[in-house]
Structures are given as structure tokens and as C-alpha cells.
């Protein structure tokens, strides 16, 4: 029996890491990576031709099925039916969980079924075997019911309307129950080789990225397990029938059932992507070595109006207290002086206002001399005065008045 997960949280349901956590698996995947890239490129062109073949051979389903199977094997897509004899061909509606964005390929190859997909792409949907947009012909429900009544081609429904969680099913929609009172549930699982294992889908990804990893992987095995056909009881509601279908699939997979639906996942996925983007844009803070902090304190004692981050940046380059003091005094290092209030508050990296009026401890401003000789003379005078004032402050602070 399936377990209803009332205490499940969205953040624990979905896969977030594409690559395996095992060290040996990650290492083997890294070795395989260049071969996988070449394989993905070759398979892309082969897959494009497979779609064209499927479109051309529409009126010869038997030959088309054989050709598509062979091409899918080349693409690394293999389908295994654990209990093929349990497939009820008279049942026109198949309901399954959703493991990947490409489950419909596995079902189409084995049952020739089609699945509804709302399509606004530039490429015709007929190019993709097993997909059909029933919304282009009026009311979707009526079109689906009409297909079930008039066609021998089965319909595939994946009522989660998005990919499942790692070990949990999302809440099913009641569409399948509205279309037919007789359905066959199918439990789907997907496997890849352990030595080149990547997740088939992760939170925040898109179908093109999942397709790349399908083409990249040596092979992907879809395992279909047909369950007993279910009938809607006389007084049973559509919701109750849907819950019964969901419980059957969850029980076969050993999954739990959550109270979240596709809309909840979409909302959480949007927040997750935004948080990931915001985190990636944060600057990487490098720890400051203790030696640099000690030298920075020495420079700050002499030049208290210089921001700490400016001092640390120059010390990281010079590794010398004397050279950094000289660079600051000579104007090699540009900075915005700290106000006396900010200095008293513990010397933060930057001023809160962005521009601060210099105090008496800050380097004096003067007009820029016109001649180079006057400029040199003025610079030497200013430098000597600033060094003298800094020396006086240092001596007074450490009680070395006998040196005055």
C-alpha cells in the first residue's frame, strides 16, 4: 500500500543534483565525459533523422515501429516490459507516473499510444513520435473523449502534469477519470549505468538540458510494469477513482503520495531558481590571513582615515607595512577617506554616505600647482607633513613621548 506523506516538504521531494555523489561514480563519469560529448553530438543528428522517418512512415505503422525501435536503440533508449502479457489492448486509456520529459517515447514504441501536449513551438508537433496537441481542435476534453471512442490508438495520461519526486508522487489530476471509466495504470522506472550515472531530470532544469543528458548517457532503460485494469465504480466520484489509480501506481513503485500538485512544484521551482541565481551572484569572500590583519592594524594606527579594505587590498600586493603607507601617502592608492564618526564606530569598510568631508586627521587638500617644479615641491612638503603628523600620533598613542 502507498503511504500518504502529510509531513513531506517540497524541498525534500525533488532531485537537485545532476551528478552522482559517490566518489568512484563521479570519477568514472569524468573519464567518460569527452566520449559522452562526441556521442551526444552524433546522436543529435541521428535523432533528427529518426523524427523525419517517423513522419514519413505515418501510414505504415508496422514498418515505422521497427525503424523507430532501431533508431532509438542507436540513441541509447531501451524499453523493457516486465509483464508484457498483462497489457490489456482493449483498454484505450493508460495512466502512469512521470519520470522524465520523454516517457511518451517509451510508451509509443511499445503500445503505439499518443499523449496530449499543448504545443506552441515553431517545429511541427507531428515531427515528434507519440505527441499530439488536442487543444488545437476545440474543447480538449471533448476531443480526448472522441479519440477514445473512435480510435484504436491508446491515450497516455500522466496526471502529475510534471515530473515526479525522487520517491514520491505528486497529486494526480482527474483528467483521466473524466475521459474514461476504464484505465490501465502503469508504473515507470528509469535506469542508467552506475559508471556513467546522471539524474534524468533535476529541479530548475528544462527539457533541452534533459535531452542532452539522454544523448550523453551510454544508454537509458525505461522499465514499464503494467498493473491491473481499474474500473470506476457506480457511485464512485472522479476524485476517488483518481486516488485509487494513484495508490495503485505508488504501491507498485514503493513511493509515498504527497498533497502537492504541479502548481505547487512550479511555484517552488521558481523560488529555487531565483535563490540559486541570487546565491551565484554573491561575491566569493576570501578569508584574510592573520598576518595581513596584523599589518593592516599597524597601517590603520598611522592612517586611521583610510578604509580597511583599501589597506588590505594594497597589503595583499606589497606584503609591506612601509610600502603600503608610502603608496597611500603618495596617492598611488585611491580611496574615500572615513569621517571621524565612522572611525570612532570601528572603521567599517566604506562610508555610509559615499562621500565624506575630510577631518583634521585627513590629508589636506590644496590647489594643484601649475609647474612641475612647484608640484614636486608641494608634494614633498605635504608628504613630510603627513608623515610627521602620523609619527606624532603613533608616539602619543604608545606613550613614547621621550622620542619627541
Structure confidence by residue, pLDDT tens digits, 88-130: 999 999 999 999 989 998 998 888 899 988 877 666 676 677 8
Three-class SS of residue 277?
Answer: helix
Q: What is the pLDDT of residue 368?
A: 44
Q: Which has more confidence, 221 or 131?
A: 221
Structure confidence by residue, pLDDT tens digits, 330-356: 778 888 887 665 555 555 444 343 433
Model pTM greater than 0.85? no
> For cell 552522482, what's the residue?
20
Q: pLDDT > 70: what percent of the chain?
A: 77
Identify which of 189, 255, 172 has the alpha carbon closest to the alpha carbon of residue 225. Answer: 189
Structure confidence by residue, pLDDT tens digits, 227-279: 999 999 989 999 999 999 999 999 999 999 999 999 999 999 998 888 877 76
Structure confidence by residue, pLDDT tens digits, 209-229: 999 999 999 999 999 999 999
* Strands 182-191 vs 230-231: parallel, antiparallel or unpaired: antiparallel
Could you tell me the sign of the dihedral formed by the alpha carbons of 337, 343, 347, 353, in that order?
A: negative
- Cβ contacts of 299-303, under 8 Å, gap ≥ 24: 299/324, 299/325, 299/328, 300/347, 301/393, 301/394, 301/397, 302/390, 302/391, 302/393, 302/394, 303/328, 303/329, 303/390
Amino acid at each position: 500500500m502507498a503511504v500518504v506523506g502529510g509531513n513531506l516538504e517540497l524541498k525534500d521531494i525533488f532531485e537537485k543534483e545532476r551528478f552522482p555523489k559517490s566518489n568512484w561514480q563521479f570519477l568514472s563519469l569524468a573519464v567518460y565525459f569527452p566520449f559522452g560529448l562526441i556521442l551526444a553530438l552524433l546522436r543529435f543528428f541521428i535523432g533528427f533523422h529518426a523524427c523525419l522517418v517517423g513522419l514519413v512512415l505515418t501510414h505504415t505503422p508496422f514498418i515505422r515501429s521497427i525503424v523507430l525501435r532501431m533508431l532509438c536503440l542507436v540513441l541509447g533508449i531501451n524499453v523493457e516490459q516486465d509483464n508484457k502479457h498483462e497489457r490489456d489492448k482493449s483498454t484505450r486509456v493508460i495512466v502512469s507516473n512521470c519520470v522524465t520529459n520523454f516517457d511518451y517515447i517509451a510508451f509509443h514504441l511499445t503500445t503505439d499510444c499518443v499523449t496530449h501536449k499543448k504545443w506552441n513551438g515553431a517545429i511541427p508537433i507531428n515531427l515528434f513520435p507519440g505527441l499530439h496537441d488536442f487543444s488545437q481542435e476545440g474543447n480538449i476534453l471533448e476531443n480526448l473523449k472522441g479519440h477514445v471512442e473512435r480510435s484504436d490508438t491508446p491515450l497516455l495520461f500522466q496526471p502529475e502534469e510534471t515530473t515526479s519526486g525522487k520517491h514520491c508522487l505528486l497529486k494526480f489530476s482527474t483528467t483521466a477519470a473524466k475521459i474514461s471509466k476504464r484505465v490501465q495504470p502503469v508504473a515507470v522506472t528509469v535506469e542508467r549505468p552506475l559508471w556513467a550515472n546522471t539524474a534524468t531530470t533535476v529541479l530548475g532544469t528544462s527539457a533541452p538540458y534533459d535531452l542532452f543528458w539522454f544523448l550523453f548517457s551510454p544508454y537509458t532503460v525505461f522499465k514499464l510494469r503494467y498493473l491491473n485494469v481499474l474500473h470506476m465504480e457506480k457511485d464512485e466520484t472522479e476524485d476517488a477513482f483518481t486516488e485509487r489509480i494513484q495508490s495503485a501506481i505508488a504501491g507498485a513503485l514503493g513511493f509515498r503520495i504527497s498533497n502537492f500538485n504541479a502548481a505547487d512544484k512550479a511555484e517552488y521551482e521558481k523560488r529555487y531558481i531565483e535563490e540559486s541565481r541570487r546565491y551565484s551572484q554573491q561575491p566569493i569572500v576570501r578569508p584574510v590571513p592573520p598576518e595581513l590583519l596584523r599589518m593592516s592594524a599597524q597601517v590603520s594606527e598611522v592612517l586611521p582615515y583610510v578604509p580597511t579594505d583599501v589597506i588590505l587590498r594594497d597589503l595583499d600586493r606589497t606584503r609591506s607595512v612601509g610600502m603600503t603607507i608610502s603608496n597611500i601617502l603618495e596617492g598611488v592608492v585611491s580611496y574615500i577617506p572615513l569621517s571621524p564618526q565612522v572611525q570612532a564606530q570601528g572603521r567599517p569598510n566604506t562610508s555610509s554616505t559615499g562621500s565624506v568631508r575630510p577631518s583634521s586627521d585627513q590629508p589636506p587638500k590644496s590647489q594643484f600647482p601649475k609647474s612641475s617644479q612647484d608640484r614636486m615641491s608641494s608634494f614633498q612638503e605635504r608628504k613630510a607633513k603627513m608623515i610627521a603628523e602620523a609619527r606624532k600620533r603613533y608616539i602619543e598613542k604608545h606613550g613614547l613621548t621621550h622620542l619627541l
